[in-house]
A and B are shown apart, each in its own frame.
Chain A
């Protein structure tokens, strides 16, 4: 797991590689173990390495035998053992033990068709120095990031945007349309990023560059072919799912360093930990126990440590707990945004940033996680809420449905008090909404869109008339309307929030900030294909979520875990910025560290231009008075503060200091 970067130019005379060392140095956190470059006329690839497989022989960029193909690769090909055997049978002789060489040789043999054979998480570049063609490719689900920009006749690419900005030719401006996207659907709609000059290579896509011409094409998209398993007996389905998950976990334990596991206390990560511990057991008596890592919070509403401890006791793992306080979140939030490179609407990435640091401090570089299970196996409340809203609208009012809403949101105390009539007025669906292809997500997007009331007049004018939801609809598969309701909602989660927010801002970026690689058994292509072909009855029955996965969990996890109703991962909210520690103590000593006050001050808000200073002052006052109790105010504050941090880090303070060394925006923030 690593960071990659590169530059290719149309003219051989262009002085391309000047920026390359600076670009790769910006990715040091992703690959602290080694840093190398391959430079030739008008082309250069660079690699910052986190050594996980073939610790001695796996350095990159790596060339093929006749040195016409060069690869720089971030990620892991988990089925590289099987692919290597296949290639060796075909006469390939390997020089290293790495998965990188397997990938390169497979590409040499099959070209882009090689991608279909890969089971892994990847972002890579292959440069063909003979034809002067560059291929960029990104994994199906969007686990590993890849960005690019074009300056004149030059293409630059990198794992993170900050590396592109290390080249002074790349402009750094906020894209108003992306802000509009984020304050609707939580992330920019790929390929847009928060910066107008930078594009994301979307998950499951390839980019080809040849003589200055760029072609982006789709290699994969999730399908929801429900009928294929309609007749599958429940018991057979359970056995098949267990087999898929066991295999997905087993190949994700392949590494030349220890692989640990995150444990949330929920069903998904507990199953993964159980399967990983089982594999350890198969390895024999000498194998050390699985190392597990988890978060705990002071506030009972967020804390799941009692469940985590049940799992630890049942599996016999060697467990490490990190206690995270609201003050910790405030302290690291600037660094979190520096790594996320995007505005955030929740503080939840911050504890995961701290957890990755904690893992790394304990000598681990690789962890398995339970991310993806809710999307693939039907676990989210948004799926249940959509079902409930539809029922409510079709069959009129009923007090029982109010009780269901309250059961769905036990963590939202304000809902518990409300009458059936009031809840119906909030949760019923209008006839137009019922017919909308994104019916399930309209309440979330409409709530988030309300935050646009904080936009400045200028920002509002620049996005006037655009409709982010309409753009989502325009990108849906042609036959989407014929899909079942749950499949549609799952598709939106898998293609939108998962890559755009969860796998990036809460996944790769938080872990790789500390050189920790996360691996996701539930996002294994065979697991995803199986999950998305299951009929409704094995996903959500009544208001019971993850029916089939829960059955698998019954044999692997303690009853307290597999019988549990899903608890969404949540962290202490935006009031932490005002109450618990007070902004004056946020992050560092002394008054100059008051970043919350600084960045939300009317003068700074006015200078940066995206938000309305009066409205932001009202919001801040509401928090200070302890009157901000709702999700919307919370998202508004986090969204505005993180956007201000993006501007601070990447626009106002990104650059070089007087010694010419690059410094991060967050360092600049601390120094003032």
Chain B
């Protein structure tokens, strides 16, 4: 999960915090990005676009739920699961 979390943190700082690394908007990997006001309803779709572009993951509408997308750890786990599933499909 580590490479994903690093990339995700970079994406979030770059895209939603406009590069701010001052610590004013510090967030942990388990913090709710929505509760912190970092990701809003548009931000979710920006995130989904990023996952699609960067990892080739197709996200279905029913997967747009907080359990998959609300914290860095949840998103990383979601990427892992999606890529694992995709590999299984290819292998079969």
Q: Which residues of A contact B (CB under 8 A)?
A: 414-415, 417-419, 421-423, 425-426, 446-447, 450, 453-454, 612, 614-619, 622, 627, 629-633
In the bound assembly, the distance between CA atoms of A630 and B47 in angstroms comes to 12
Q: Is A618 within 8 A of B19, CB to CB?
A: yes
In the bound assembly, the distance between CA atoms of A421 and B69 in angstroms comes to 11
The answer, among B34, B42, B65, for a CB contact under 8 Å with A629, is B42
Instruction: Tell me the minimal C-beta distance from A366 to chain B in angstroms.
Output: 41
Q: Is A632 within 8 A of B18, CB to CB?
A: no
Instruction: Tell me the minimal C-beta distance from A631 to chain B in angstroms.
Output: 7
Instruction: Tell me the minimal C-beta distance from B16 to chain A in angstroms.
Output: 9
Contact with A along B30-42 (1 / 0, CB 8 A): 0000100100111
Instruction: Tell me the minimal C-beta distance from A601 to chain B in angstroms.
Output: 16
**Can you pick out 22 interface pairs between chain A and chain B where the beta carbons lie within 8 Å of each other?**
A414-B44, A415-B41, A417-B45, A418-B44, A418-B64, A422-B66, A422-B69, A423-B41, A425-B70, A426-B34, A446-B37, A453-B17, A453-B18, A614-B19, A615-B20, A617-B19, A618-B14, A618-B19, A622-B15, A629-B46, A630-B43, A632-B42
Residues of B within 8 A of A615 (CB): 18-20
Q: Residue of A at shortest CB range from B65? A: A421
Q: Is A425 within 8 A of B34, CB to CB?
A: yes
A414 and B18 contact, Cβ closer than 8 Å, known pairs A419-B65, A453-B25: no
Residues of B within 8 A of A627 (CB): 15, 46, 49
Q: Is A453 within 8 A of B46, CB to CB?
A: no
Instruction: Tell me the minimal C-beta distance from B36 to chain A in angstroms.
Output: 11
Residues of B within 8 A of A616 (CB): 18
Q: Is B20 within 8 A of A453, CB to CB?
A: yes
Q: Is B45 within 8 A of A629, CB to CB?
A: yes
Secondary structure type dominating chain A contacts = helix
Q: Residue of B at shortest CB range from A426? A: B41
The answer, among A414, A425, A619, for a CB contact under 8 Å with B42, is A414
Residues of B within 8 A of A617 (CB): 19
Q: Is B64 within 8 A of A419, CB to CB?
A: yes
Instruction: Tell me the minimal C-beta distance from B67 to chain A in angstroms.
Output: 8
Q: Residue of B at shortest CB range from A619? A: B18
In the bound assembly, the distance between CA atoms of A627 and B17 in angstroms comes to 14
> Which 6 A-B residue pairs are closest in the complex by CB-CB distance?
A630-B42, A618-B18, A615-B18, A618-B19, A414-B45, A421-B65
Instruction: Tell me the minimal C-beta distance from B49 to chain A in angstroms.
Output: 8
Residues of A within 8 A of B62 (CB): 419
Residues of A within 8 A of B17 (CB): 453
Q: What's the A-B contact tally at a CB cutoff of 8 Å?
A: 72
The answer, among A417, A421, A614, for a CB contact under 8 Å with B66, is A421
Q: Is B61 within 8 A of A632, CB to CB?
A: no
Instruction: Tell me the minimal C-beta distance from A185 to chain B in angstroms.
Output: 17
Given contacts A414-B45, A426-B40, A454-B18, 9 further A-B contacts (CB under 8 A): A414-B41, A417-B64, A418-B45, A421-B67, A422-B44, A425-B34, A450-B40, A615-B20, A633-B42
Instruction: Tell me the minimal C-beta distance from B63 to chain A in angstroms.
Output: 8
Instruction: Tell me the minimal C-beta distance from B13 to chain A in angstroms.
Output: 9
Residues of B within 8 A of A414 (CB): 41-42, 44-45
Q: Residue of B at shortest CB range from A454? A: B18
Residues of B46-60 whose CB lies within 8 A of A: 46, 49
Residues of B within 8 A of A418 (CB): 41, 44-45, 61, 64
In the bound assembly, the distance between CA atoms of A86 and B70 in angstroms comes to 69
In the bound assembly, the distance between CA atoms of A286 and B49 in angstroms comes to 62
Residues of B within 8 A of A447 (CB): 40
Instruction: Tell me the minimal C-beta distance from B28 to chain A in angstroms.
Output: 19
Instruction: Tell me the minimal C-beta distance from B42 to chain A in angstroms.
Output: 3
Q: Is B40 within 8 A of A630, CB to CB?
A: yes
The answer, among B18, B19, B25, B41, for a CB contact under 8 Å with A422, is B41
Residues of A within 8 A of B61 (CB): 417-419
In the bound assembly, the distance between CA atoms of A631 and B40 in angstroms comes to 10
In the bound assembly, the distance between CA atoms of A632 and B43 in angstroms comes to 9
Instruction: Tell me the minimal C-beta distance from A507 to chain B in angstroms.
Output: 29
Instruction: Tell me the minimal C-beta distance from B76 to chain A in angstroms.
Output: 18
In the bound assembly, the distance between CA atoms of A629 and B43 in angstroms comes to 9
Q: Is B42 within 8 A of A422, CB to CB?
A: no
Instruction: Tell me the minimal C-beta distance from B21 to chain A in angstroms.
Output: 9
Instruction: Tell me the minimal C-beta distance from A471 to chain B in angstroms.
Output: 21
Residues of A within 8 A of B19 (CB): 614-615, 617-618
In the bound assembly, the distance between CA atoms of A429 and B67 in angstroms comes to 19
In the bound assembly, the distance between CA atoms of A622 and B46 in angstroms comes to 11
Q: Residue of A at shortest CB range from B17? A: A453
Residues of B within 8 A of A423 (CB): 41
Instruction: Tell me the minimal C-beta distance from B5 to chain A in angstroms.
Output: 21
Contact with A along B1-31 (1 / 0, CB 8 A): 0000000000000110111100011000000
Q: Is B40 within 8 A of A632, CB to CB?
A: yes
In the bound assembly, the distance between CA atoms of A38 and B66 in angstroms comes to 68
In the bound assembly, the distance between CA atoms of A665 and B3 in angstroms comes to 51
Residues of B within 8 A of A446 (CB): 37
Instruction: Tell me the minimal C-beta distance from B24 to chain A in angstroms.
Output: 8
Q: Residue of A at shortest CB range from B32? A: A425
Instruction: Tell me the minimal C-beta distance from B43 to chain A in angstroms.
Output: 7
Residues of B within 8 A of A612 (CB): 20
In the bound assembly, the distance between CA atoms of A633 and B70 in angstroms comes to 20
Residues of B within 8 A of A453 (CB): 17-18, 20, 24-25
Residues of B within 8 A of A622 (CB): 15, 18
Q: Residue of B at shortest CB range from A630? A: B42
Contact with A along B59-83 (1 / 0, CB 8 A): 0011011110110000000000000
